[in-house]
Amino acid sequence: MNAGIIGVGHYAPEKVLTNKDMEKIVDTSDEWIRTRTGIEERHIAADDEDTSDMALRAAEEAIKDSGLTIEEIDMILVATVTPDNPFPSVATVLQHKLGARKVAAMDLSAACAGFMYGVITAKQFIETGSCKNILVVGVEKLSKITNWEDRNTCVLFGDGAGAAVIGPVSEGKGILSFELGADGSGGPHLYQDDYLFMNGREVFKFAVRQMPQSSVNVVKKIGLKEEDVDYLVPHQANIRIMEAARERLGIPKEKMSVKVNKYGNTSSASIPLALSEDVKAGKIKDNDLVVLVGFGGGLTWGAVALRWGK
């Protein structure tokens, strides 16, 4: 039995901070942020809006989109590094808020690659027959761990949520290959102490190597060529890193999802948020070969090649 994405949803908080707003907070400029990162604005959650609240909005939309009822969800996985509390997990809070059955629920911590870890974990449970349908959410309230005095990081991040229902699909469709990896020696380059800390240059070097490589690897694993990719949804951290992956695949600009301008880097949420928006805008069609690829703190990375449709 092959597992695929059968429903998607997303949510971004109402409040928007533009680059011009950032100029009033730290010594930066709209020009620096746009040319170095591609970011124009980011969404910031309200003080009383928790990670699980954003997860709920995206999850409800994804379940509706899948055509399933909440009773048909057999497991809940939430990728986040900014849970409401260290425990209970956001996944259990979400289970309760959704009114789901008392199914297994847990959080996954793989930073910006978290959603990829979630999707690939879901695939294993479905393909072994242990579960039929699994809700995977990527969600972050990064604004609460952002040091708003550090211009190296505060201009980069935003809040939001994306969700997908993973379920059985017909032969030839769904997740055809995957790659997951981690290199703990790179941990000191991106971590949270009180606030988020990042050695941007080191993470950049890792990302421009790993994201193109993983994208190519998942396509090669299924015996196809780079140019067979119909749509690329990369982690939305920096347009220059995303372009490196697109150029390595040799596909045109219109075949890559670009949302980093609107949302900044939303870590675990970035891939499902971008995917959901593009599916709803009709940019991904039945039978398209889609590559999802992410990298993040850990260091971690993950990618899938999937044939879109049920």
Q: Which residues bind ligand UT7 (CB under 6 A)?
A: 28, 32-33, 36-37, 112, 151-152, 155, 200-201, 203-204, 207, 237-238, 241, 265, 267, 296
| 189 is a catalytic site residue | no
Q: At its nearest, how many Å lie between ligand UT7 and the CB of residue 178? A: 20
Of 149 and 227, which has the nearer Cβ to ligand UT7?
A: 149
Catalytic entry in 19, 133, 238, 265: 265
User: Which residues are 293's β-sheet partners?
Assistant: 234, 303
Of 75 and 203, which has the nearer Cβ to ligand UT7?
A: 203
Q: At its nearest, how many Å lie between ligand UT7 and the CB of residue 213? A: 15
Q: At its nearest, how many Å lie between ligand UT7 and the CB of residue 181? A: 15
User: Which residues are 140's β-sheet partners?
Assistant: 160
Of 202 and 228, which has the nearer Cβ to ligand UT7?
A: 202
Q: At its nearest, how many Å lie between ligand UT7 and the CB of residue 197? A: 11
DSSP state of 25: H
- Whose CB is nearest to ligand UT7? 200
DSSP state of 228: G
**Residues 6+ away with beta carbon under 8 Å from 290:** 229, 230, 231, 232, 233, 284, 305, 306, 307, 308
| 287 is a catalytic site residue | no
% helix / strand / coil in the chain, to the nearest 5?
40, 25, 30
Of 52 and 265, which has the nearer Cβ to ligand UT7?
A: 265
**Residues 6+ away with beta carbon under 8 Å from 98:** 56, 59, 60, 63, 70, 73, 76
| 154 is a catalytic site residue | no
H or E segment and range at residue 162: strand 160-169
Q: At its nearest, how many Å lie between ligand UT7 and the CB of residue 310? A: 31
Ordered alpha helix ranges (H), 69-227: 90-98, 114-127, 151-154, 200-221
Catalytic entry in 112, 131, 154, 189: 112
Of 231 and 295, which has the nearer Cβ to ligand UT7?
A: 295
* Helices and strands, counts by H and E, the chain: 10, 13
The span from the CA of 55 to the CA of 57, in Å, is 6
SS3 190: strand
Catalytic entry in 19, 189, 235, 238: 235
- Amino acid at residue number 214: S
Catalytic residues: 112, 235, 265
